[in-house]
Amino acid sequence: MKRVIIITAFIVASFSSCKDDDVSCVSCSNELTQTFTLCREANGDASVNGEDTDTDYDVYLSDLTEQGTSCN
């Protein structure tokens, strides 16, 4: 019985760890910086090179483009 519970817990944990599929990323650059990766995290925040900015992705991207940064 213990074995069934452990196997079930492992299967549930494996499927729930697939939430990273909600992340989408683009490459960005401007004449002042090296190319960096901007991602929309599952919670809607922007992350830059893997670091959460605690800022909404759309707001962050808008600010970047206003400053002349190109993302694609």
33 pLDDT higher than 60? yes
- Given a contact cutoff of 8 angstroms between Cβ atoms, the answer to whether 28 and 71 are in contact is yes
Q: What range does the domain containing 30 cover?
A: 21-71
Asked, for residue 34, whether it belongs to a domain, the answer is yes
Q: What is the pLDDT of residues 16-27, one digit of tens each?
A: 444 456 899 999
Task: Tokens for 51, please give them.
Answer: 């670091």
Looking at residue 22, its pLDDT comes to 85
Per-residue confidence band for 1, with pLDDT thresholds at 50, 70 and 90: low
DSSP 8-state symbol, 3: H
Asked, for residue 57, whether it belongs to a domain, the answer is yes
35 pLDDT higher than 80? yes
Which DSSP string do the residues of 10-65 spell out, in sequence order? HHHHHHHGGGGGG-EEEEEEETTEEEEEEEE-TTSEEEETTEEEEEEHHHHHHHHH
Asked, for residue 60, whether it belongs to a domain, the answer is yes
Looking at residue 20, its pLDDT comes to 52
Count of the separate structural domains present in the chain: 1
Higher pLDDT, 1 or 7: 1
Residue type for 31, please? E
Asked, for residue 4, whether it belongs to a domain, the answer is no
